């Protein structure tokens, strides 16, 4: 019986583009999914702004486990002239 290859680690990529600054990324972060989940839980414990945030990790995990790859979310903040994109790689 052949050994199965280990499952490839999935990454979350978060990019914030500042349209007021020649569309250059203001934030460009790539982290393993497990680290993102841990960081969000920690942030909810320390940041008053994050305490009320309800992220549906079950839905996100289901998308990732089903093989979903690519852009999950794109948010346009017209007032701040920024775009936030969240990807699974």
Candidates 12, 4, 16; CA nearest to 64 is 12
Per-residue confidence (pLDDT) for residue 39, from 0 to 100 = 77
Per-residue confidence (pLDDT) for residue 30, from 0 to 100 = 92
- Residues of the chain whose pLDDT is less than 70? 1-8, 49-53
pLDDT tens for 19-35 read: 888 878 888 889 888 78
Other beta carbons within 10 angstroms of residue 44's beta carbon come to: 16
């Amino acid at each position: 019986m052949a050994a199965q290859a280990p499952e490839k680690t999935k990454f979350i990529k978060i990019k914030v583009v500042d349209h007021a600054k020649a569309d250059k990324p203001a934030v460009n972060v790539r982290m393993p999914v497990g680290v993102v989940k841990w960081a969000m839980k920690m942030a909810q414990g320390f940041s008053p702004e994050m305490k009320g945030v309800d992220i549906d990790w079950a839905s996100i995990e289901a998308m990732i486990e089903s093989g979903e790859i690519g852009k999950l979310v794109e948010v346009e903040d017209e007032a701040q002239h920024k775009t936030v994109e969240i990807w699974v790689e």
